[in-house]
Amino acid sequence: MREQVIEWLRARGVELEDIARVVQELLGGRFSDLTLEECLASVRRVVDKREAQFAILTGIALDVLAEQGHLPEPLRSAVREDSPLYGIDEVLALAITNLYGSVGLTSFGYLDKRKLGIIGQLNRHADGGVHTFLDDLVAGVAAAAAARIAHRRQTLADAAAGSEGEGKAAS
Amino acid sequence: MREQVIEWLRARGVELEDIARVVQELLGGRFSDLTLEECLASVRRVVDKREAQFAILTGIALDVLAEQGHLPEPLRSAVREDSPLYGIDEVLALAITNLYGSVGLTSFGYLDKRKLGIIGQLNRHADGGVHTFLDDLVAGVAAAAAARIAHRRQTLADAAAGSEGEGKAAS
Amino acid sequence: MREQVIEWLRARGVELEDIARVVQELLGGRFSDLTLEECLASVRRVVDKREAQFAILTGIALDVLAEQGHLPEPLRSAVREDSPLYGIDEVLALAITNLYGSVGLTSFGYLDKRKLGIIGQLNRHADGGVHTFLDDLVAGVAAAAAARIAHRRQTLADAAAGSEGEGKAAS
Amino acid sequence: MREQVIEWLRARGVELEDIARVVQELLGGRFSDLTLEECLASVRRVVDKREAQFAILTGIALDVLAEQGHLPEPLRSAVREDSPLYGIDEVLALAITNLYGSVGLTSFGYLDKRKLGIIGQLNRHADGGVHTFLDDLVAGVAAAAAARIAHRRQTLADAAAGSEGEGKAAS
């Protein structure tokens, strides 16, 4: 299913590299040695998770159906207009972020407000499409990938600290 | 929007009274004096909340679109077959339950497993329809309504205890 | 219990008015007529909710116990140092924000990152105290109060629109 | 930190094997070939996650502090009496379950209601201790471990189905 998710994202104007750039911008101040490759690898791992895949597919399907006029009212207007009180787009996005714990929620909220990179492009609807779900889903994936990197770097730092203190037996 | 939500539920075979009966069965062992009217009033209050309304409309729309073949694969199969790993149906339902705090989550899980009343009927697909979202949404509304009743009864009990201990000034 | 919550907050340096000012700053760009009184009334309603009260009491107790050295290691260090990967402070705060639906989560994340008003003061630990939970709890209450205002204003706007369209019968 | 978490659990009367037995009972009807070893391995993976570790340490600390009388009122009574409206115990437990997506939430609710195995023992307070958080945390870990097993088995089944359809190249 991973390949289908990547294709659906691409068909809506989002490459995994775009999401990786958001992750790098988000974490750049904290980890100065963070490469785009590490960010992209982390984005790929998030997109490998089945729950993330289903959230992405469901959200994109709703965007497309709203665009094509196949959603009944009053749902269609709520999705087309990205009503700030609709809320279901955030609910799906957070289902992704939560997979890496609560530490990603702050990043999600920040991204949703500041709309870095591709998120801002989607939000401006420059292509005339409905991206009510997609911009939040991308923020959710980026926040999850950033949380994953923060957790992994801490684990590596803990292991390094442990091996200094405990000698080779710990490695 | 409340009237539209009630109509959508009815068109899919669910009356608010059906949900109220689930609430009464769920709480019957705890509050022996609980009437169907109190349960129904609580269900109505849950359905008055905008986030609950949007979750219900979105979930029912996805059920109907899956039924009519308007969802693209692999999403269509996941929704039609109510795959246990799909998970987005629970995500929408919990967005409703969470509106009354975490105490409703236990009830939601129990209802989702035991499928009391109308939830079981929907789950058996006796009408040939797709109810992947609807059975969870009904469980989410019932769990929220039950949590609301438990909170209100405690508040009334606290107030009664306070007035006993503190005299009339507290009432 | 509400009075005890307000006292605990005050003892840790937070007045409800401080939280109301954060709400006003958060929403000021969106609702230019928003008064501090309306914000304060909304903060009070959030703090009336039992789940919000228990989250606040639990979080403040953990801050105080960490300050006094009564938490066992490695928990004590995680709370004292406000480790970015601790995450339980965000979990408690989000239990408050979720009471008003997912639309507050964006505000929470933004506040947690930008640390407006009293949140920034707490985070700087100017008083030498541990406020690992408190700054997040204040952000959670402010985000909830802001979501509540947004929901209410929309409801009023819908009602006004409805009465225009449907005549006096609807008012 | 993993070893400390295992020691804290043991000191409160819970072995990882006890949690594994709950997982096996929970999933036994669905996967008849499920061994206690597979369940234990999955429990270990959950307990390896930093967010699970912090939730467990925080919850157990609150149980112990309530037992020793070190929590201030009204928090102490709420924790000692395991008030059904306290809710923060469920909030911490769900932070663990959510790490494996929403599919574990149903299991959590069911376990919290039916109190299988060690969960029931803790809930009966046979040892005279306060286990308000611990019984929920164990249910949260068990539900997460069960969700992890369900996801992994589906992934293996998908891979097997893929290799049948696509021949050796896919294996």
Q: Which ipTM was obtained for this model?
A: 0.90
Nearest CA to CA, how far is B40 from chain A (Å)?
A: 25
Q: Confidence band (pLDDT; 50, 70, 90) for D125?
A: confident
Q: Would residue B149 be called left, alpha or beta, if left means φ above 0 and alpha means ψ between -120 and 50 degrees? A: alpha
Q: Does domain B2-164 have CATH number 3.40.50.920?
A: no
Average pLDDT taken over every residue of chain B:
90
Task: Give how far Cα A163 sits from Cα of A154, D47, D88, D107, Å.
Answer: 14, 21, 37, 39
- Inform me whether the C-beta atom of residue A107 falls under 8 Å from chain C C-beta atoms: yes
pLDDT of A90 reads 94
Return residues 8-47 of C near D (CB < 8 Å): none
CB B26 within 8 A of CB B93: no
Contacts of C99 in chain B (CB under 8 A): 98-101
Q: Confidence band (pLDDT; 50, 70, 90) for D41?
A: very high
CB contact under 8 A, B74 and A57: yes
Nearest CA to CA, how far is C13 from chain D (Å)?
A: 18
Task: For chain B, give every domain's residue range.
Answer: 2-164
Distance in angstroms (rounded) separating the CA atoms of residues A100 and A108: 12
- Beta strand ranges found along A110-168 (DSSP E): none
Distance in angstroms (rounded) separating the CA atoms of residues C165 and A117: 41
pLDDT of D90 reads 94
CB contact under 8 A, C91 and D87: no
Name, in order, each residue with C-beta under 8 angstroms of D164's C-beta and a sequence gap of 6 or more: none
Return residues 132-161 of A near B (CB < 8 Å): none
Average pLDDT taken over every residue of chain A:
90
Per-residue pLDDT tens for A99-142? 998 888 889 988 988 899 999 999 887 778 999 999 999 999 99
Indicate if the pLDDT at residue C165 is higher than 70.
no
Distance in angstroms (rounded) separating the CA atoms of residues C67 and C134: 13
Among residues D91, D23, D19, D20, the alpha carbon closest in space to that of D62 is found at D91
Q: What is the mean pLDDT of residues C13-17?
A: 97
CB D55 within 8 A of CB C88: yes
Percent of chain D with pLDDT over 70: 94
- Inform me whether the C-beta atom of residue C99 falls under 8 Å from chain D C-beta atoms: no
pLDDT of B166 reads 34
Indicate if the pLDDT at residue C169 is higher than 60.
no
Contacts of B151 in chain C (CB under 8 A): 50
Indicate if the pLDDT at residue D78 is higher than 60.
yes
In degrees, rounded to 5, the angle at the alpha carbon of residue D18 between the alpha carbons of residues D14 and D19 is: 95
CATH for A2-170 is 1.10.3760.10
The torsion defined by the Cα of A102, A107, A111 and A116, in degrees rounded to 10, comes to: -140
Q: Tens of pLDDT along chain B (171 residues)?
A: 899 999 999 999 999 999 999 999 999 888 989 999 999 999 999 999 999 999 999 999 999 999 999 999 999 999 999 888 899 999 999 999 999 988 888 899 889 888 999 999 998 877 789 999 999 999 999 999 999 999 999 888 888 886 543 333 222
Q: What is the mean pLDDT of residues C37-49?
A: 97
- Inform me whether the C-beta atom of residue A85 falls under 8 Å from chain B C-beta atoms: yes
Per-residue pLDDT tens for B74-94? 999 999 998 888 999 999 999
Average pLDDT taken over every residue of chain C:
90
Distance in angstroms (rounded) separating the CA atoms of residues C80 and C121: 16
**DSSP state letter for B131:** -
Q: Would residue A128 be called left, alpha or beta, if left means φ above 0 and alpha means ψ between -120 and 50 degrees? A: left
CB B67 within 8 A of CB B130: yes
Contacts of A72 in chain B (CB under 8 A): 61
Indicate if the pLDDT at residue C166 is higher than 60.
no
Which tokens belong to C159? 């009602």
Q: Which residue did the predictor score with more confidence, C128 or C14? A: C14
Task: Give how far Cα A155 sits from Cα of B81, D1, D4, D153, Å.
Answer: 40, 10, 16, 27
Q: Confidence band (pLDDT; 50, 70, 90) for A165?
A: very low
Helix (H, G, I), strand (E, B) or coil at D32: coil
pLDDT of C167 reads 34
| Lowest mean pLDDT, pick from B90-94, C78-82, D8-12, D121-125 | D121-125
Indicate if the pLDDT at residue D22 is higher than 90.
yes
pLDDT of B167 reads 34
